[in-house]
């Protein structure tokens, strides 16, 4: 047997270094791929694990109903957190036109929604509402109709004309020939109601639903002229939303059975009214 078979020949240092360098490069490449894969998986898992925040902008008169709807939606969609923003419809539209991050918009009339142009995607009417006079409990000023609001001793508060409830008030004035001299014009219907419930005003023109939500804090006075001025409430998803699927689902809930039941309980009339 040759003596070479049982001996081990030293490997040249240069060759050994080359082999080590090659091994290090391979290990680094494999580690890099593994790292990228894990990073991607981690990011995906993180994205999937985080709740989607759905920004819903809604008219002030929808506060009670949309709060209930948001709760119902979150129960049905555990991966979604609904963030509500309530204000006068015109203020909401201004915010969106200035770049606010909204996914869904619901206004108290069609005219205001139209100011969004194509930013309002497929608007659909989901409810209607009419005005009513809210007074202090017991109606101490003995207001008996819209014309009574002209009385000098009655401090009346209304919505500003650019707000849907204010636009409805202007229409009633034109239809009846009765021009009011309000002590203030508010940017939202809830502000009008607050003026009445706080005693700062004797009467205020609000929606039927707002007066109903106030309970025994106010008395109400109707007028035949109110029935002919109906505000139709549209809801739309906002163009460019990053959460189009969830936005569409929320819209569907509002226009569907769940939404319609909640809205009806609050005093809203259906879209067909």
Whether the Cβ atoms of residue 98 and residue 115 lie closer than 8 Å to each other: no
Tokens 């929604």 correspond to what residue?
Answer: 113
Domains in the chain: ranges and CATH = 50-127+233-265 (3.40.190.10), 131-227 (3.40.190.120)
- Burial string for 187-219 (b: 16+ CB within 10 Å, else e) reads bbbbbbbbbbbeeebbbbbbbbbbbbbbeeebb
Residue 265: which residues within 8 A CB-CB, separation 6 or more?
none
Q: How far apart are CA 5 and CA 103, in angstroms?
A: 79
pTM: 0.80
Phi (first) and psi of residue 64, to 5 degrees: -65, -50
Higher pLDDT, 10 or 36: 10
* pLDDT digits 0-9 by tens, 129-165: 999 999 999 999 999 999 999 999 999 999 999 999 9
Q: Count CB atoms within 10 A of the CB of residue 120.
A: 21
Handedness of CA 170, 230, 195, 259 (dihedral sign): negative
Candidates 265, 59, 57, 268; CA nearest to 159 is 59
* DSSP secondary structure letter of residue 242: T
Q: Is the predicted pLDDT of residue 27 greater than 60, yes or no?
A: no
* pLDDT digits 0-9 by tens, 167-198: 999 999 999 999 999 999 999 999 999 999 99
Q: What is the mean pLDDT of residues 71-97?
A: 97
The number of angstroms, rounded, from the C-alpha of 27 to the middle of its chain's C-alpha atoms is 52
Say how many Å lie between the first and final Cα of the chain, rounded: 108
| Tokens encoding 87 | 């204000």
Tokens 């229409």 correspond to what residue?
Answer: 171
Q: How far apart are CA 7 and CA 191, in angstroms?
A: 98
Q: Is the predicted pLDDT of residue 2 greater than 80, yes or no?
A: no
Q: What is the CA radius of gyration of the chain?
A: 32
Q: How far apart are CA 139 and CA 132, in angstroms?
A: 13
H or E element that contains 244 = helix 244-255
Q: What is the mean pLDDT of residues 47-76?
A: 93
């Amino acid at each position: 047997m040759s003596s070479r078979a049982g001996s081990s020949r030293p490997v040249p240092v240069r060759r050994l270094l080359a082999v080590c360098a090659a091994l290090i490069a391979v290990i680094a490449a494999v580690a890099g791929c593994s790292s990228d894969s894990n990073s991607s998986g981690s990011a995906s898992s993180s994205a999937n694990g985080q709740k989607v925040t759905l920004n819903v902008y809604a008219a002030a008169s929808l506060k009670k109903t949309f709060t209930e709807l948001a709760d119902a939606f979150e129960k049905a969609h555990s991966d979604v957190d609904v963030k509500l923003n309530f204000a006068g419809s015109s203020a909401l539209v201004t915010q969106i036109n200035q770049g606010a991050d909204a996914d869904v918009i619901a206004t108290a009339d069609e005219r205001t929604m139209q100011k969004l142009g194509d930013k309002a995607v497929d608007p659909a009417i989901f409810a209607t509402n009419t005005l009513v006079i809210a007074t202090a409990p017991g109606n101490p000023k003995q207001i008996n109709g819209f014309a009574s609001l002209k009385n000098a001793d009655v401090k009346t508060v209304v919505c500003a004309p650019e707000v849907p409830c204010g636009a409805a008030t202007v229409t009633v004035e034109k239809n009846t020939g009765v021009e009011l001299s309000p002590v203030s014009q508010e940017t939202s219907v809830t502000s009008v109601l607050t003026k009445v419930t706080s005693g700062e005003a004797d009467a205020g023109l609000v929606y039927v639903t707002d007066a109903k939500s106030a309970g025994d804090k106010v008395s109400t006075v109707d007028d035949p002229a109110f029935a002919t001025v109906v505000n139709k409430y549209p809801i739309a998803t906002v163009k460019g939303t990053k959460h189009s699927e969830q936005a569409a689902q929320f819209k569907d809930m509002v226009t569907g059975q769940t939404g319609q039941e909640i809205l009806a309980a609050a005093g809203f009339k259906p879209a067909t009214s």
